[in-house]
A and B are shown apart, each in its own frame.
Chain A
Amino acid sequence: MSDTAIAPKIIKKFLYVNRKAPYGTIYALEALEAVLIGAAFDQDVSLAFLDDGVFQLTKGQNARAIGMKTVSPAFGALGDFGVTRLYVEAESLAERGLTRDDLMIITHDFENGTTGEVPSIIVVDRARMSNVMAEHDIVLTF
């Protein structure tokens, strides 16, 4: 593929908004594929999880018995692609009987070269999520 050949001078803020649960539909998987490809473009990339999208980040997923690939482990690799901000909406978790402890632990390396890992998941309230959406140039929904 020749897509990576372009050298964009502009850096835009991309927000990938996930509002759908995994497995029942393909949206979560194909959204993640877009994030991983997009990460190669040196843009400012963040992810947002709200409504049923929060189910994408829950612990303990195993899709073997439904004959599918388990999607969730790929989120753990996002940090290696420079995607370090996963905003999760607190109200969406609460509505679904979830807490932060039900979510996977996703981390990325400190940017300043010191050792250690920083959590990538940032739980925000609904008002802050609205601000996050407004702060981005491109909002991609799936």
Chain B
Amino acid sequence: MQPTVPAARIEDVDVKISVLVHAAPYTHQAADTAYQFILAAIAKGHAITRVFFYHDGVNIATRLAVPPADDRNIQKCWSVLAAEHGVDLVVCIAAAQRRGILDEGEARRHGKGDGAANLAPGFRIAGLGQLIEMGIQSDRLVVFGA
């Protein structure tokens, strides 16, 4: 069976797509599927408006994960995606605080001590408004979860 889908129409190039990721890395495949989907979308010339990490999806953004050398490093995959393609990776502040994902400012604000910040490069922490905003600003929103 050949991969056949409705051929994208001419006016369908450069569609603005945003992505919502809900599930923890490694435990669930969602982060991997979202990543592969985004690579394919970029290769097709679409723009990724933003990726918003919610629920346990915020755990993707820890710089402290040390997966085995023969496995993919999910956090690094995303950090590289941000560096190479300028994709805006936003981690929900409320969900992140619950689960111990902190940037420098949040670590300081909550008195967690020097070096406590664990947000990986390429990610930023912001409010849920960023989720609504990306819905407003993009043409399509796709959700990946557990």
A residues adjacent to B (C-beta < 8 A):
1-4, 6, 8, 10, 12, 14, 26-27, 30, 33-34, 37-38, 40-41, 43, 137-138, 140-142
Contact = CB atoms under 8 A, between A and B. Distances in A.
Contacts of A3: 126-130, 132-133
Interface residues of B, number: 21
Given A27-B55, A30-B95, A142-B55, A1 B127 contact: yes
Given A6-B133, A140-B20, A37 B128 contact: yes
Contact of B133 (A8, A27, A33): A8
A14 to B, nearest CB: 6
B50 to A, nearest CB: 12
Interface in B9-57: 20, 22, 54-55
Given A8-B133, A138-B141, 17 more contacts: A2-B126, A3-B127, A3-B129, A3-B130, A10-B136, A30-B54, A37-B127, A37-B132, A38-B132, A41-B133, A41-B136, A43-B132, A43-B136, A140-B135, A140-B141, A141-B143, A142-B22
B135 to A, nearest CB: 4
Interface of B: 20, 22, 54-55, 93-95, 126-133, 135-137, 141, 143, 145
